[in-house]
Amino acid sequence: MANTKVIAVGVAAVILIVAVIAYASSYMSDFDNVQRSSQDEGQTIALTDVPVLGSKNAGVTIVEIGDYQCPACKLWFDNTRQDIIENYIETGKANLVFIDMPFIGADSTSAAEATYCANDQGMYWEYHTTLYQLQQHENDGWANIDRLTAIAFNLGLDTEQFNECMISKKYFSQISFNKQKASTDFAANSTPTFIIVNTSGTAERLIGPHPYSTFEKVLDSLL
């Protein structure tokens, strides 16, 4: 009887381990395919293609690494971002760039692509802001393709051009590139992660939805 139990537990453990390895390897192969497809297209994608909020000549750049479905990113967006914009970005002291690291679900990638499609019509930051304002629970469909198109319509974008951009996956490579950069170059393993860097290359890293007081201290020390 005891032997049967041991065998049953052993079999269950082996099945679980095999399932985990199979799942992990299939997920990683998907990730590799994304990387390969972006390389195969032969496009030159660089972080300089990323939209900048504020003056390009500002003394400090805040790099935000985020996911549009991330609740902690929304927390930071709702409570801290506006103060930084008023006191550092609008005054020309700092600028902000957003690097997509969509990992929470498929809608995260679509939402990130949608911001770049909106950028084609000069509305990147407006679309970015609207996404965080409308954020709901992860993977509950709030950022599905239909909703993304509705957001574009409400912002007054040319929805035909927007849809064409989304359907053709025009910015899939850009988002894959951003995601890869976020995890390799910036070593981000959670969102939001912030890299604050000044013109002399001195950088400070903040992980999580830090309050405004933290940014104030770090930005002042780097300016």
Partner 1 sequence: MNNTFETVYSNYTYILIAIGIFFLLFFPLITISEFLFFEPFIVFSIYPETTLSFLLIVILSFFSALAVSMNIYRVKLIKKTKKIGSSIIGTIIGASAGACSCGPIAFSIITTFGTAGSIASSFLNVYEIPIRLTSIGILGVVIFVTTKSLSRECKINL
Residues forming contacts to partner 1 in the complex (CB under 8 A) are 20, 23-24, 26-27, 30, 67, 69-73, 75, 78-79, 103-105, 137-140, 189-192, 204-211, 213-214, 217-218
Taken as a whole, the chain contains a residue count of 223
Q: How far is the CB of 174 from partner 1 (least distance, A)?
A: 21
Residue 181, number of CB atoms within 10 A of its CB: 20
Q: How far is the CB of 163 from partner 1 (least distance, A)?
A: 26
Q: Are the C-beta atoms of 207 and 193 separated by less than 8 Å? A: yes
Nearer to partner 1, 120 or 138 (CB): 138
Nearer to partner 1, 75 or 97 (CB): 75
Q: How far is the CB of 190 from partner 1 (least distance, A)?
A: 4
Q: What is the DSSP string of 106-122?
A: HHHHHHHHHHHHHHTTT
Q: How far is the CB of 189 from partner 1 (least distance, A)?
A: 5
Nearer to partner 1, 82 or 189 (CB): 189
Single-letter code of the amino acid located at 77: F
Nearer to partner 1, 123 or 188 (CB): 188
Nearer to partner 1, 51 or 71 (CB): 71
Going by C-alpha positions, the residue among 124, 64, 65, 54 that lies closest to residue 87 is 54
Q: Are the C-beta atoms of 76 and 204 separated by less than 8 Å? A: no
Q: How far is the CB of 4 from partner 1 (least distance, A)?
A: 25
Backbone angles phi, psi at 65, to 5 degrees: -105, 120
Nearer to partner 1, 50 or 188 (CB): 188
Kindly report whether the peptide bond that precedes residue 51 is cis, defined as omega within 30 degrees of 0.
Answer: no
Q: How far is the CB of 28 from partner 1 (least distance, A)?
A: 8
